[in-house]
Homo-oligomer: A and B are copies of this chain.
């Protein structure tokens, strides 16, 4: 894929032409039921995963759950610059949304987890997040009869089903159902909805200015790794020098300041932006991307149009019934602050 910069905006093609082009670049988000069928997800694992996703006792303090930083009520993220974890420590990066995360090429801003199962193990153990250990998790879950029973049901035939690994597997199953179908964009792709000329102009610019080089596919991003600052590295307030991104994963010089391209589904819901979470305004984020990644100072009209297009990527948010968690027993490890 090239990062070619087109100096002049292409003239807006017809809606039909644009739909054809867009259909070759993007893919609609399916309904949860389709994901469940396609991936052959276990209904029991999904429901167990929902318990675990909301389970604060997976954290050392008993007050932090997956949903704390990836809230299903606020776009699957926490919408603060960087997450606050155990002991009120600020994490190093902005919390990525859990919504549609199942479609990303890999997890975390640097792609250091191959999938959601591997990802789920990270925050539970991170000292600045939930600050627990696999031992704490397993002792906790084994101390609660309803969990023992549920793990046995969700992982039938396993001799020792209550494990840290199965915890992660169940959370992955639940998170895979957190998808947001039927955005206005997807409905337009399917010919069921119209977009305004302003929005279509934005889509056209998004494609022709080159945004699509990194932000394509089902999640309009999240599919590959690119340097933040392809053309011009932004200032330290947006790109802190201390966080070299994927370099920490691959230890390869060319991966300095390389990050997974942000998935742009529901992007209007999840300010602030970038891995640093330092930019609150979506229009400003678009303008920064124009200059840093495309070497192009987008004018105000272009920024507004692209932003209008990005707003059409907001899909139907998942409706989740809060799980009623089973009570602790005397054997359950106590919280520690």
- Tell whether A175 is near chain B: CB-to-CB under 8 Å: no
Q: Which residues of B contact A319 (CB under 8 A)?
A: 321-322, 324
With an 8 Å Cβ cutoff, the count of chain A residues facing the other chain is 38
Q: How far apart are A174's CB and chain B's nearest CB, in angstroms?
A: 13
CA distance A322 to B71 in the complex (A): 9
Q: Which residues of B contact A45 (CB under 8 A)?
A: none
A325 contacts B73, C-beta separation under 8 Å: yes
Nearest-neighbor residue (CB-CB) of A284 within chain B: B330
A280 contacts B330, C-beta separation under 8 Å: yes
B330 contacts A324, C-beta separation under 8 Å: no
Among A72, A280, A322, A328, find the residue whose CB has the most chain B CB atoms closer than 10 A: A322
Comparing A80-88, A164-172, A241-249, the segment that makes contact with chain B is A80-88
CA distance A8 to B216 in the complex (A): 78
- Tell whether A74 is near chain B: CB-to-CB under 8 Å: yes
B328 contacts A317, C-beta separation under 8 Å: no
Q: Which residues of B contact A84 (CB under 8 A)?
A: 61, 63, 337
- Tell whether A90 is near chain B: CB-to-CB under 8 Å: yes
Residues of A within 8 A of B (CB): 54, 56, 61-63, 68, 71-75, 78-81, 84, 87-88, 90, 268-269, 271, 280-281, 317, 319-325, 327-328, 330, 334-335, 337
In the complex, 16 of the A-B residue pairs with CB atoms within 8 angstroms, ordered by the A residue number, are: A56-B78, A62-B79, A63-B78, A73-B322, A75-B327, A80-B337, A81-B335, A84-B337, A87-B88, A90-B337, A271-B327, A271-B328, A280-B330, A319-B322, A319-B324, A321-B322
